[in-house]
Amino acid sequence: MFSLALLTNAFLASISLVLVLIFGIFLPGFLLKRSLAPRVSFTSLESALLSFALGIGIIDASLLFLGNLSLPLNALTIGTWYFVLIISLFVILTLRKIPFTETSVPLLATKNELCVATLFIVLLFFVKVFYLSGTILPTSTDLGHHLYWAKLTSDTQALPVYEKQEIIQGEDGHYSVSQPEAISDFIIGEHLPVSFLHIFTGASYFGTFPILFLFLLNLSSVFALALLFYALGTVLSKENKWQYVTPSSFFLLALFVFGGLFSLASPEMKFVSGGVIGNLFGNLYIPLILLVLLRALSEKSASLLALGFFLIATLAYTHHLSTFILLFVLLFTALSLLIFWQKDFFQQCQTWFRMALQPVSLATLASILLFALLIALPTYIETNAVQTAVGAPTKETRTGLTIAQLSLSNSAFKFGLAIFGLLLIASTSKLRKNIGGVLLFGYGIVLLIMTMTPQLLLVDIPSTRIAHYLSFPLTLLALFSVLALLEKLGEQIPKNSSVFKNPLLVAGGIIIWLALIAPGLEDNGKTLTVNRQGLYVQETFAAAEYLKEHVAPGELILKDHNFIQASDTWMKLFFSQGYNYPFSRSFFKRYEDNPDREHCTLAMIATPNTALGKQCYQDLPVRFLVVNPRFDQAQFTKSSEFSLIYSSPNIAIFSVKSINQAP
């Protein structure tokens, strides 16, 4: 299986991806960061993360701008635009006499800390890559859906119009395919970076680059969380005069827990292999925005505030749910500040308001507003997505999770420690007077309320989806509790004495570590499953290739989503004839849960010889059916209307004898 040619190809493909990431995302992002915040000091990791996040924002803004000017979105146009953009940023830096390079602040103080961090990073890569090695094939349903739009953008060289056609029943009782209708589930910002990478690397959408990009997003989110915790640690330990627990400990502990222990289950690597693009963007941007805002407010830096505005705008164009969650987090942090700080809050607000009125932050905000007004608004604002997320919960799945359900997905120990952390901040005057403490409190408490009692905040979103966002502040609060306890314990040890001389302290420390490590390993263990789907992927793709050659214009294809073993949603990438092409028999539960939903897609496969099945075939120009012959064959064999025209062990294609040609 292993050959030199394969190694060379893999190396070249990886290098080309890394070069596009560096010159297409990191470099423009870095130059923008230097232009907006030339005098702010960053650690090199912070600088890289911010450059990456800003670079993605630049891709979204650039492609939206060029696309709205009706310019073709190809390598030539985008490349020329990027050349001009990079030169302009260089000129701005030169005119403002800002050096291109920046002096980084060291993140870790000692060599030992550096060694431990390196070890944790190696562990992080090992665990995550080991998991991905079993799930790297293009099988995920969501990723198939998302990549359709990314491919459409690069194929048509134009911004995609998020529309789909559905099977509807008219007033006369006949079924037909509807006119294209707007979709609110997808946001353009989550697809444009993928299209951008394809345009410049030329890599196949069926290859590894989409998953590698999502992997990079996940890695970045782990580092963003560790850096946010580091920033919290800096603010908290400085103002509370902690002597034993340093900001580096905050960084290292977060890196170990997010990167090594709880690093596979949702919302981490499972979201990577599952292609949950929007959430992965949210998981990066939310902690990064909180980090930048925390630093902006504590350092009173307008430049950092400007970076924060740009990042919030990028998130708004990338993922609606994450933006919604972020707004609640910011609102509750402000509310917590008001409650905990009272009069001091208004004094601080005046300072912050003056900071917001500085030219750099004001100009950034004005540019974002102008872009929204003149170029493009986030698509979900134009559709009804916002209204559907606000209001009293409309389904049982949206009425909140119980403590037992939350403990199950977050480990009871972690959950308990997090609650302790919340109580500790609320009850300790030094912590609740500290902006870092209040931010951590606001981040945790709002997501806890949104997950457990969403009706209080009029949130109408599936509670399990919000719970994925909750897992991050819960972990941060739990880790904060551990470190606060360690600091308190440290203070009890007489000076010039070692912690190892106190057996009780050593035993306590070991118990805490084991209690943290065990659920983390269990969490990883549950997610690691051997899943060899290569054969199924190949069979599905081979069938799609066959159909592509034989389907005529105006003819429809119907495939089954229940029993086809893998990659059925990826079939649409072969045809590029619409988001719902081929039409799909959805999960059976969806028809049961929603009796008003059209049932043609169900009847045409499950019961083609019933009155409904026959009517659907009469009304709709369905020419081909793609099914798993192990589950759906007998109903077609019995009928004289169907021919079996393609057969492989797990895929069968039937053709319909007489079809209604009118689309």
Q: How many CA atoms lie within 13 A of 592 on its CB side?
A: 3
User: Which of 139, 163, 156 is closest to 199 using CA atoms?
Assistant: 156
**Residue 228 beta carbon to another protein: minimum distance, rounded to whole angstroms:** 16
Of 252 and 470, CB closest to another protein: 252
What is the Cα gyration radius of the chain? 27
Residue 220: phi, psi to the nearest 5?
-60, -35
Q: How many CA atoms lie within 13 A of 49 on its CB side?
A: 27
Of 257 and 543, CB closest to another protein: 543
Distance (Å, rounded) from C-alpha 480 to C-alpha 245? 11
Of 65 and 646, CB closest to another protein: 646
Distance (Å, rounded) from C-alpha 403 to C-alpha 521? 22
**Residue 156 beta carbon to another protein: minimum distance, rounded to whole angstroms:** 27
* Residues contacting residue 347 through CB under 8 Å, at least 6 positions apart: none
Of 14 and 405, CB closest to another protein: 14
Secondary structure class of 654 (helix, strand, coil): strand
Of 4 and 69, CB closest to another protein: 4
**Residue 634 beta carbon to another protein: minimum distance, rounded to whole angstroms:** 12
Of 481 and 540, CB closest to another protein: 540
**Residue 124 beta carbon to another protein: minimum distance, rounded to whole angstroms:** 9
Of 315 and 566, CB closest to another protein: 566
**Residue 580 beta carbon to another protein: minimum distance, rounded to whole angstroms:** 23
Distance (Å, rounded) from C-alpha 361 to C-alpha 293? 12
Distance (Å, rounded) from C-alpha 653 to C-alpha 645? 6
* Residues contacting residue 530 through CB under 8 Å, at least 6 positions apart: 134
**Residue 267 beta carbon to another protein: minimum distance, rounded to whole angstroms:** 20
Of 454 and 613, CB closest to another protein: 613
**Residue 179 beta carbon to another protein: minimum distance, rounded to whole angstroms:** 28
Beta bridge partners, 459, equal 390
Interface residues toward another protein, by CB under 8 A: 1-2, 6-7, 9-11, 13-15, 17-18, 44-45, 48, 104, 106-108, 114, 117-118, 121-122, 125, 128-129, 132-133, 136-137, 207-208, 211-212, 215-216, 219, 223, 532, 534-539, 542-543, 546, 550, 552, 640-649, 653, 655, 657
Could you identify the residue written with the tokens 């941007």? 285
Angle between helices 209-239 and 111-132 (to 10 degrees): 150
Of 77 and 628, CB closest to another protein: 628
**Residue 46 beta carbon to another protein: minimum distance, rounded to whole angstroms:** 10
User: Which of 492, 523, 487, 516 is closest to 250 using CA atoms?
Assistant: 487
The H helix count followed by the E strand count for the chain is 29, 9
Maximum CA extent, the chain: 91
**Residue 206 beta carbon to another protein: minimum distance, rounded to whole angstroms:** 9
